[in-house]
Structure 1
Amino acid sequence: MNFKGVKAKKYLGQNFLNSEDVLNKIVRSLEIKENDFFIEIGAGTGVLTRELVRAGAQVAAVETDESLVRILREDFSGNPDIEIVKADILKLDLTEYEERGEALRIAGNIPYYITSPILFKILDNRDFVKDATLMIQKEVGERLTAEPGNKIYGIPTVLFNQFADVKKLFYVSRNCFSPRPDVDSVVINISFLEKPRYFLKNEEFFKKLVKQAFGQRRKMLRNTLRSILPDIHKDFLSTVLSRRPEQLTTEDFAALSNELYK
């Protein structure tokens, strides 16, 4: 694949995909429809950008590296279906793109060092984002899809399961990137639900509860939650509160949230 002589910048977490086979698998997995509008995170040298447009999508290609932005603007100059956006994705106001296309979608190869902030930003904008197909560190993909009782089951697992269907599509070897990273990757799809999986009296309270619970994941919930609910009765919901957070399902957390919210 052509990197146009660009050298990856380590401080930006750049690892360029160098496999046509993986690129084609990503594009096929997207099942792009006419009028789909994509925000592409980390457009790099534009290899995915080009394929998205070729498949019929419109794209806002977000890139923070000035040298890559110049290349992208030169390569796609005059193409009405591509907007090159020089920005930090974490600072970009995604609501600016809310009305673009019939379905706002997100795709990209995510820098490992800012994976979690990007994921939670996407989650916070789920009201107008249909789905996100992302290349992320394999370990993070495993965490998002972990089952209760697993040591990697945690805050992102519960929150994303409450608001989305998360699927691991396929794994990608570290050998498919230049420079070669130290870990393997996985392509995931996050498809947001029209409404939360389980009823919530208050969504913000639910999020606060989950984050507080996993802040001290080895403690029983009775002890962990006392710090934010000092008036909690000692034997209140004794069955649930005697467990550790990784033992609770998303449904358990929703039920607990509804019981405790006042």
Structure 2
Amino acid sequence: MAKQPQQHRARKRFGQNFLQDEGIIRRIVRSVSPQEGQHLVEIGPGMGALTEVILEATDRLDVVELDRDLIPGLKVKFFNHKGFNIHQADALKFDFSTLVDDGQPLRIVGNLPYNISTPLIFHLLDQGPVVRDMHFMLQKEVVERLAAEPSSNDWGRLGIMAQYRCQVESLFLVPPEAFDPMPKVESAIVRLTPHKELPYPAKSFECFDTVVRSAFAQRRKTLRNNLKGLMEMSLLEALEIDPTRRPETLSLQEVVAISNAYADLQGKHD
């Protein structure tokens, strides 16, 4: 697939790296496996390389693009697709629930800018009730944190918050040369599928978020040090969790158990 036209230079402030390897593009779309009648949403379509292949499988596609200079090209390229809609907007502020108009859950796809990937993932996790699944291209290190397991160096707030709400699958790596301009890091594709029923429900999501933030505020410190301003250590001991443990040793189930005990203490329940 050809590189983007000379008239549009990738903009650093938008974190633009245009995907141009047709083999990788088709592998991503095979992983998504869009079907006719499904409602697809693409974040950051850029020059439309991924968009073009998605539209071969389904005509229902909304795209959210921040760079207004890319909009005219997308309109011209896909003018003959009646179900193709462009939203010139910042994905970080966009309410994806407004796209649901027929009860069909959204299937979200995107080559996410590295500079906003983590806050954007947190924003999209909040959209869970209207989402069937999400497939993202991210910096490899971010995918490793999303898919991490307890007691690993990558296990932390991002992985816990994602895995609380979704099944997370790391699919495959994407080399820098698949992009123009070429990034200095490797990328990877991840699939996030919101749980139909939470495996470990928190009594208060606010308390869960507070406990995760506090527990992982300083990774090298013990739970006693990180949580001492939040709760008495007797609360952990009652759960048979040793306060001298480090936060990265906690399983998701244990984090939820701590947050539920904290919610009881605060008298907070969703």
Shorter-chain TM-score: which interval? over 0.9
Residues matched between the structures, number: 261
Select between 105-114 and 141-150 the one with higher mean Cα deviation.
141-150
Select between 55-64 and 132-141 the one with higher mean Cα deviation.
55-64
Does structure 1 residue 10 correspond to structure 2 residue 4? Answer: no
Query: Paired residue for 2:134, among 132, 135, 138?
Result: 132
The residue aligned with 1:241 is 243
Contact 1:32 / 1:57 at 8 angstroms: preserved in 2?
no
Taking the aligned partners of 1:155 and 1:190, their CA distance within structure 2 comes to 16
Select between 101-110 and 174-183 the one with higher mean Cα deviation.
101-110
Contact 1:35 / 1:101 at 8 angstroms: preserved in 2?
no
The within-5 A match list for 1:1-262 is 1-2=1-2, 3-5=4-6, 6-100=8-102, 102-229=104-231, 233=234, 236-237=238-239, 239-262=241-264
Q: TM-score scaled to structure 1, two decimals?
A: 0.94
Select between 40-49 and 234-243 the one with higher mean Cα deviation.
234-243
SS in 2 for 1:121: helix
Deviations 1:17-71 (A, max 9, x none): 1100000001111111222112211010111112212101411111111211111
The RMSD of aligned alpha carbons is 1.7
Taking the aligned partners of 1:119 and 1:142, their CA distance within structure 2 comes to 14
Taking the aligned partners of 1:101 and 1:70, their CA distance within structure 2 comes to 30
Contact 1:37 / 1:101 at 8 angstroms: preserved in 2?
no
Contact 2:173 / 2:186 at 8 angstroms: preserved in 1?
yes
Contact 2:59 / 2:82 at 8 angstroms: preserved in 1?
no
Contact 1:52 / 1:58 at 8 angstroms: preserved in 2?
no
Query: 5+ unaligned residues in a row in structure 1: which ranges?
Result: none
Contact 2:108 / 2:133 at 8 angstroms: preserved in 1?
yes
Change (3 A) 1:211 1:83: same
Residue 67 of structure 1 aligns with an amino acid whose one-letter code is D
Query: 5+ unaligned residues in a row in structure 2: which ranges?
Result: 265-270
Deviations 1:123-166 (A, max 9, x none): 11101111110000001011111121222210011111111111
Taking the aligned partners of 1:100 and 1:241, their CA distance within structure 2 comes to 49
Change (3 A) 1:75 1:158: same
Taking the aligned partners of 2:32 and 2:243, their CA distance within structure 1 comes to 41
Taking the aligned partners of 1:64 and 1:245, their CA distance within structure 2 comes to 37
Contact 1:200 / 1:206 at 8 angstroms: preserved in 2?
yes
Deviation at 1:93, TM superposition (A): 1.4
Q: TM-score scaled to structure 2, two decimals?
A: 0.91
Residue 196 of structure 1 aligns with an amino acid whose one-letter code is L
Taking the aligned partners of 1:187 and 1:100, their CA distance within structure 2 comes to 29
Taking the aligned partners of 2:180 and 2:145, their CA distance within structure 1 comes to 25
Select between 248-257 and 70-79 the one with higher mean Cα deviation.
70-79
SS in 2 for 1:135: strand
Residue 261 of structure 1 aligns with an amino acid whose one-letter code is A
Deviation at 1:215, TM superposition (A): 0.8
SS in 1 for 2:130: coil
Taking the aligned partners of 1:202 and 1:125, their CA distance within structure 2 comes to 18
Deviation at 1:232, TM superposition (A): 5.4
Percent of pairs with identical residues = 36
Deviation at 1:184, TM superposition (A): 0.6
